Chain A
């Protein structure tokens, strides 16, 4: 069996709980598969789904999964102008967006059964270009920016990923799983898929982790697991998670960047004392998410490792530049930056992760650096060159550079008068949802250059470090 629609093969037993309303439904009563196929004026094409983690979002996604459509999963609170930019670039045939009442040149199609009603926007423009039928899902490389760059994933990619995760995590059919991460994020989508595969109960409309309602819901519904990026663990630490009595919790997972060692140790100790398990994992959207994980019993000895590869995957290190390379059935089929790119799905034998790694004697891998210029903030990857381009367009003629400081914040170095650049933080927030406190501005007399005449990022971060010394 392969192909992502097979994650639904246990659908008869799957229950969905809406944490907001407290209602429970069988997945089979909610799925609109037949209704959608009957109502759609086309069999294939591109669908844009603006989603997060609501019941409607999950049902819209799963109902469309079995059609011939290619589904682009996007953040539902993307700024309106970014949505229309993406739509004019890719010309989707169908849009699911609960945040909008109207989209020009579309007609609304309401699809309902006894339990649920969803509304889709349909373009009446016929075929808008051929799409390789292997492309099932498109995910954005960064969760937040509305960048038109997508990762092309096939049904087989998504299946292989879900299957490998389900084989190393202690998922049980009796589990109740909160979908606390957005589904347009590869980690969130992985949680959905791997637990569907095992026939678990899924909880939608999960409130924010720092709201009291989340914790009432935790014990009311009896969550078995929790997934989080490093920031979520920092937050859990701050709200006294380890002092809470959570008898239903069996295991929790962390991915989406590096969590600090003291916190990893603290959560490991907690898991040991409370008879729970803690999984540290590594991956990329380009691998449909998961690449490696640290087996729980090895965690204390390998706390800073990204572990060993998932089932059917292989990891090794490039002997020339020490880049971490991955092979496996979950490697994506290339990027798409335009409709044209949807015509093909490439078989990529080796995924170059862009991370520099080493391997210890027992075969565990460790990330020691990064080849590409990006920053990972709050689990989201942000391309620094893209930021730089954007800011140069916003401030024509300005000489500026963006750099990553330890995945803690973005350093923007600018030549010029601070008064002229007051809006930099605000515009980064509006366009990329990068929180102003994650951006530091440094004003320099001139831009330091390397021997080759390129921006000397190292010199800039040294300047910053010198200035911020107490």
Chain B
């Protein structure tokens, strides 16, 4: 299963904006609280930014799963595909 490259690119840009970090620091393994910029405060900003950018609503029971770049990408991949394009 390959993940849509545009989604990935878009998500990197979202991370860049929400955490105010350079895109070179957004790696697949980047995890919540692993860098000072990704704390509980910016996490909420990140989630909001993801929801507006991808026009998606993240159910509250999924919130705790959104704890790394790759998990978020996986979530988007699964849920964006369901939408008719």
Instruction: Tell me the minimal C-beta distance from A468 to chain B in angstroms.
Output: 17
CB contacts between A and B, total, < 8 Å: 51
As a 0/1 sequence over residues 226 to 249 of chain A, the CB contacts with chain B under 8 angstroms (1 = contact) are 000001001100111001000000
Please name all residues of chain B whose beta carbon is closer than 8 Å to the beta carbon of A435 when the two chains form the complex.
20, 39, 41-42, 45
Asked if residues A215 and B64 are in contact (CB atoms below 8 Å), the reply is: yes
Please name all residues of chain B whose beta carbon is closer than 8 Å to the beta carbon of A243 when the two chains form the complex.
60
As a 0/1 sequence over residues 19 to 53 of chain A, the CB contacts with chain B under 8 angstroms (1 = contact) are 00000000000000000000000000000000000
Known: A212-B64, A239-B60, A239-B63. A436 touches B44 (CB 8 A): no
Instruction: Tell me the minimal C-beta distance from A266 to chain B in angstroms.
Output: 13
Asked if residues A211 and B67 are in contact (CB atoms below 8 Å), the reply is: yes
Please name all residues of chain B whose beta carbon is closer than 8 Å to the beta carbon of A209 when the two chains form the complex.
40
Please name all residues of chain B whose beta carbon is closer than 8 Å to the beta carbon of A340 when the two chains form the complex.
none
Nearest-neighbor residue (CB-CB) of B59 within chain A: A240
Size bin of chain B's contact surface? 20 to 34
Specify the main secondary structure of chain A where it touches its partner.
helix
Please name all residues of chain B whose beta carbon is closer than 8 Å to the beta carbon of A211 when the two chains form the complex.
32, 64, 67
Enumerate A420-446 residues with CB–CB distance to B below 8 Å.
Answer: 425-426, 429, 433, 435-438
Q: A426 CA to B20 CA in the complex, in Å?
A: 8
Instruction: Check: A386 CB closer than 8 A to any chain B CB.
Output: no
Known: A208-B33, A425-B20, A426-B20. A240 touches B60 (CB 8 A): yes
As a 0/1 sequence over residues 55 to 82 of chain B, the CB contacts with chain A under 8 angstroms (1 = contact) are 0000111011101000000000000000
Size bin of chain A's contact surface? 20 to 34
Instruction: Tell me the minimal C-beta distance from A77 to chain B in angstroms.
Output: 8
**Those 3 A-B pairs whose CB atoms lie nearest each other, nearest first:** A240-B60, A436-B20, A212-B64
22 pairs from A and B in contact (CB 8 Å cutoff):
A77-B36, A210-B32, A210-B40, A210-B43, A210-B64, A212-B65, A215-B64, A231-B40, A231-B41, A234-B44, A235-B44, A239-B60, A239-B64, A240-B61, A243-B60, A378-B41, A425-B20, A426-B20, A429-B20, A436-B37, A437-B18, A437-B41
